[in-house]
Structure 1
Amino acid sequence: MPVPYIILILITGIAAGFINTLAGGGSLLTMPMLIFLGLPSAMANGTNRIALMVQNIVAITNFRRKGFFDWRLSLMLGIPAVLGSVLGANLAISLPDNVFNKILAVVMLLVLVLILWQPQKRLEASEENLSKKSKIIAVITFFFVGIYGGFIQAGVGFIIIASLTLITGMSLVRVNSIKVFVVAIYMVSSLAIFIISGQVNWVLGLTLAVGHGLGGWLGSNFAVAKGDKWIRVFLVIAVVMMAAKLLGVFELFA
Structure 2
Amino acid sequence: MSLIDVLILISVGFVTGVINTLAGGGSLITLPIFIFMGLPPVAANATNRIGVFLQSVVAVGGYKSKGVSVFPFAIYVSITAVIGSIIGAYFAMDIRGEVFNKILAIVMLLVMALTILKPYLIKKGEEEVFTPKSKALSIILFFFVGLYGGFIQAGVGFLIIATLTGIHGLSMVKTNSIKSFVIVCYTAVALVIFIIEDQVRWDYGLTLAAGNSVGAWVTSRWSVNVDDKWVRLFLLITVIGMAVKLWFFS
Output the TM-score relative to the length of structure 1: 0.87
Aligned-CA RMSD value: 2.6
8 Å contact kept, 1:123–1:162: no
Query: Cα offset for 1:208?
Result: 0.4
Q: Quick check: 1:11 aligned with 2:11?
A: yes
Query: Cα offset for 1:166?
Result: 2.1
| Aligned residue identity for 1:205 | G
Aligned length: 249
Question: Which residue of structure 2 lines up, in the alignment, with residue 109 of structure 1?
Answer: 109
In 1, Cα distance between equivalents of 2:173 and 2:23 = 15
Q: Quick check: 1:196 aligned with 2:196?
A: yes
Q: 1:11 to 1:225 in 2, by over 3 A?
A: same
Secondary structure in 1 aligned to 2:126? coil
Deviations along 1:140-181, one digit per CA (max 9) or x if unpaired, are 101001001111111111111111222223333222221111
Question: Which residue of structure 2 lines up, in the alignment, with residue 178 of structure 1?
Answer: 178
8 Å contact kept, 2:22–2:223: no
In 2, Cα distance between equivalents of 1:205 and 1:21 = 18
Q: Quick check: 1:34 aligned with 2:34?
A: yes
Q: 1:217 to 1:174 in 2, by over 3 A?
A: closer
Question: Which residue of structure 1 lines up, in the alignment, with residue 157 of structure 2?
Answer: 157
Query: Cα offset for 1:103?
Result: 0.7
Alignment of structure 1 residues 68-79 onto 2, 5 Å = 68-79=68-79
Question: Which residue of structure 2 lines up, in the alignment, with residue 2 of structure 1?
Answer: 2
Q: 1:223 to 1:174 in 2, by over 3 A?
A: closer
Secondary structure in 1 aligned to 2:73? helix
| Aligned residue identity for 2:110 | L
Q: Quick check: 1:240 aligned with 2:240?
A: yes
Q: 1:175 to 1:21 in 2, by over 3 A?
A: closer
Alignment of structure 1 residues 87-106 onto 2, 5 Å = 87-106=87-106
Question: Which residue of structure 2 lines up, in the alignment, with residue 56 of structure 1?
Answer: 56
Q: 1:218 to 1:170 in 2, by over 3 A?
A: closer
Structure 2 unaligned residues grouped into runs of 5+: none
Q: 1:120 to 1:79 in 2, by over 3 A?
A: farther
8 Å contact kept, 1:48–1:205: yes
| Aligned residue identity for 1:109 | L
8 Å contact kept, 2:122–2:162: no
In 2, Cα distance between equivalents of 1:141 and 1:70 = 18
Deviations along 1:196-219, one digit per CA (max 9) or x if unpaired, are 111111011110011113434666
Query: Cα offset for 1:233?
Result: 4.4
Deviations along 1:61-113, one digit per CA (max 9) or x if unpaired, are 12212222133111111000000000111111111011111111011111222
Q: Which has the larger radius of gyration?
A: 1
Percent identical pairs in the alignment equals 47
Query: Cα offset for 1:182?
Result: 0.7
In 2, Cα distance between equivalents of 1:135 and 1:47 = 33
Output the TM-score relative to the length of structure 2: 0.89
Query: Cα offset for 1:228?
Result: 5.8
| Aligned residue identity for 1:142 | F
| Aligned residue identity for 1:35 | I
Secondary structure in 2 aligned to 1:170? coil
| Aligned residue identity for 1:172 | M
Query: Cα offset for 1:22?
Result: 5.2
Query: Cα offset for 1:227?
Result: 9.5
8 Å contact kept, 1:10–1:207: yes
8 Å contact kept, 1:120–1:158: no
